[in-house]
Amino acid sequence: MTLATTALPAVRGPLSAAVVDALTAGKAPPATVDGADPLGDDLQLALHICYELHYRGFPGIDPEWEWDADLLRLRAEMEAVFLAVLSGSVAGGSDVAGTLDALLVEQVPGTGVSHFLRDEGEWWQMREYFAVRSIYHHKEAEPHAWVIPRLEGQAKAALVAVEYDEFGGGRAERMHSRLFADLLAAAGLSPEYLHYLDRAPACALATVNMMSLFGLHRRWRAALVGHFTAAEITTGPSAQRMDEALARLGADPACRLFYTEHIEADAVHEQVMRQDVVGDLLAREPDLAADVVFGIQATEFLEERLGAHLLGSWRAGRSALL
């Protein structure tokens, strides 16, 4: 059986069109990104297509494109402007413990997406949330696996222990990506890999592209670790709220299982990531502290943008999907 893949998405501007033209017609991609908005739909989709070549690829597209020098050169240009916006949007610093602690202190308490869904969300909004998030959860824990050969000792061993859980502890039906596919099906949505890519706005693609970028570059290994730790710390409390939301809405048990699984698992993962992974990594390479902080803050920045888009759309009575 071959891996389920997804068709090439509809283009969103000249850059994503150039990437699709390269893949489908062999046309040389441009060498620069020429004023494209680093967080906009066109660049984020173009980047997402380039990264997908490293995951499952696209049906009918030659897998050799993964290492095509011209495409990689364009990808590097896109990554450079994306990284520049991320680093210009976060506070920076090297206080890893303080930055992690701050994740659990809400700036304006109770204003996040999971709070909204718990307190007043409607079923159509919940389904939109599932669809938008599916781009991320179909790849749950995957870009994080790229960091394994870039770590040593306890940091490596402990990160693999967390990954073991994310991948279902050896059981395909318990993989978190599979639990999310089951959730989609139980909510009457398509569980197919990246089925909702064409509906996902740039702010959702950016959260996934950041993980791929950090995962694929050894240089950003500490940012990947920071991102992973931030995700584990924030998921437990938000999974609790999501479960309450789904209980209130009378959702199918398969929708709730994905979140109940994370309430307990991530309480453990948080500690392992903090102490054994971040702690050991920084004991070996203290100079990486600023990159860990960058990974945490960039995650927070992009998650807040996505949350603002979702809540802004819903409060205006609009769909948050494209």
**Structure tokens, 124:** 């159509």
DSSP one-letter code for 204: H
Nearest residue to Fe ion by CB is: 176
Q: Report the site for Fe ion in 228-247 (rule: CB under 5 A).
A: 232
Q: Which residue, 266 or 303, is less far from Fe ion as judged by CB? A: 266
291 in contact with Fe ion (CB under 5 A): no
Q: Which residue, 74 or 175, is less far from Fe ion as judged by CB? A: 175
Q: How large is the angle between the packed helices 176-186 and 123-137, nearest 10 degrees?
A: 150
269 in contact with Fe ion (CB under 5 A): yes
270 in contact with Fe ion (CB under 5 A): no
Residue among 213, 47, 76, 83 nearest 144 (CA): 213
- In whole angstroms, the minimum distance from the beta carbon of 225 to Fe ion comes to 14
Contact between residue 250 and residue 187 where contact means Cβ atoms under 8 Å apart: no
Residue among 73, 54, 74 nearest 64 (CA): 54
Count, residues in the chain: 322
Terminal Cα-to-Cα distance of the chain (whole angstroms): 32
Cα three-residue angle 214-53-21, rounded to 5 degrees: 120
DSSP-derived secondary structure for 66-115 = GG-HHHHHHHHHHHHHHHHHHHHHS---S-HHHHHHHHTS-SSTT-SHHH
Q: Report the site for Fe ion in 163-222 (rule: CB under 5 A).
A: 166, 176
Q: Which residue, 39 or 162, is less far from Fe ion as judged by CB? A: 162
- In whole angstroms, the minimum distance from the beta carbon of 138 to Fe ion comes to 12
266 in contact with Fe ion (CB under 5 A): yes
DSSP one-letter code for 6: -
DSSP-derived secondary structure for 207-234 = HHHHHHHHHH-GGGHHHHHHHHHHHHHH
Q: Which residue, 176 or 195, is less far from Fe ion as judged by CB? A: 176
Q: Which residue, 79 or 303, is less far from Fe ion as judged by CB? A: 303
Q: Which residue, 166 or 280, is less far from Fe ion as judged by CB? A: 166
Q: Report the site for Fe ion in 130-169 (rule: CB under 5 A).
A: 166
- In whole angstroms, the minimum distance from the beta carbon of 250 to Fe ion comes to 24
- In whole angstroms, the minimum distance from the beta carbon of 287 to Fe ion comes to 27
Binding string, residues 47-86; x marks residues near Fe ion by CB under 5 A: ----------------------------------------
- In whole angstroms, the minimum distance from the beta carbon of 309 to Fe ion comes to 23
- In whole angstroms, the minimum distance from the beta carbon of 237 to Fe ion comes to 13
- In whole angstroms, the minimum distance from the beta carbon of 274 to Fe ion comes to 13
> Distance (Å, rounded) from C-alpha 155 to C-alpha 150?
10
The footprint of Fe ion (CB under 5 A) covers 166, 176, 232, 266, 269
